[in-house]
Amino acid sequence: MTPLAANDDALIEPKEGLSYVRGSKAIPLSDATVGQFLLDTARRFPKRPAVVFREQGIRWTWQVFVQEVNVLAAGLLALGIGKGDRVGIWSPNRVEWLLTQFATARLGAVLVNINPAYRLAELEYALNKVGCKAIIAAECFKSSKYLEMLQELAPELVGATPGDLRAARLPDLRVVIRMGHAMTAGMLSFCDVIEQGRATFDPATLDAIGVTLSADDPINIQFTSGTTGNPKGAR
């Protein structure tokens, strides 16, 4: 490791009872967005492994990963998801989670991480607290049946046109996307959104959106507390 310059005020390990560190000011902070970092990485290392989900049988290079991210971004865009919109993700660790994180960042949308252990009241609180326009959910996790819980909160799903939900208890929610190939009344399947994205993907459109985004734009809200707590945000 190259020694720091004598006039550098970096603090690389806690000292004198302090619980924080600070980096060197000699190297300016990057102003690139997450989307720009992703595209740059794919250009530099297109054939290197990027994503492995053994249980789902997925092994993608950076080149393939960025293609799938772009396709999902195009699919979400076709559903009316854009900059500043909140998109909830309610799922254990799956490739759909990873794709959604980067696809929403490409659009400037804000991913809302919903705790996989949340119960009904906590889910309702989280979705309404930040005004989620869409939610992408796994079918279930352990004893939590996510789709059934969403149906309980929004019984209007039964007769709703997928992508145009109007629910009394979830007034901001319009789009419910379920993972997997199965169909559920009022919900889109993740696979259908991907196919829509493949049909409508236009690189120029995503690039035009990208130039409007800033590294200072929020792209993630992390819920770490229950119904009485406050969400923590991240950029």
Per-residue pLDDT tens for 176-189? 999 988 899 999 99
Q: Is the pLDDT confidence value at 1 over 70? A: no
Query: Any idea which fold 34-234 has?
Result: Rossmann fold (3.40.50)
185: left (phi over 0), alpha (psi -120 to 50) or beta: beta
Average confidence (pLDDT) over 46-60: 96
CA dihedral 111→129→149→142, nearest 10 degrees, is 60
Quote the tokens at residue 134: 């869409």
Residue 21 pLDDT more than 80?
no
**Sheet arrangement for strand 132-137:** 188-189, 175-178, 132-137, 86-90, 110-113, 220-222, 232-234
Q: Summarize pLDDT for 123-154 with one digit per residue, the tens.
A: 999 999 999 999 999 999 998 999 999 999 99
Give me the pLDDT at residue 6, please. Answer: 45
Cα 155 to Cα 147: distance, rounded to the nearest angstrom: 11
Q: What is the mean pLDDT of residues 47-74?
A: 97
Say yes or no to pLDDT of 172 above 60: yes
The pLDDT, as a whole number, for residue 233 is: 44
pLDDT score at 5: 46
Residue 167 has pLDDT above 90, yes or no: yes
Question: Cα 103–107–108 angle (5° rounding)?
Answer: 110
This prediction has a pTM of: 0.86
pLDDT at 209 over 50: yes
User: Measured between alpha carbons, how far is 171 from 211 in angstroms, rounded to an integer?
Assistant: 31
Question: What is the per-residue pLDDT for 26?
Answer: 81
Please give the average per-residue pLDDT across 44-62, as a whole number.
97
Supply the pLDDT for residue 224.
60
pLDDT more than 90, % of the chain: 78
Asked if pLDDT for residue 86 goes beyond 70, the answer is yes
Is the Cα torsion angle 4, 6, 9, 13 positive or negative in sign? positive
Q: What is the distance between the alpha carbons of residues 155 and 170, in angstroms, rounded to a whole number? A: 10
**Is the pLDDT assigned to residue 71 strictly greater than 80?**
yes
pLDDT in tens, 27-42: 788 899 999 999 999 9
The DSSP code for 160 is P
The mean pLDDT value for 114-121 works out to: 94
What mean pLDDT, rounded, does the chain reach? 90
Amino acid making up residue 173: L
Q: How many helices (H) and strands (E) does the chain have?
A: 7, 9
Query: What pLDDT score does 25 carry?
Result: 78
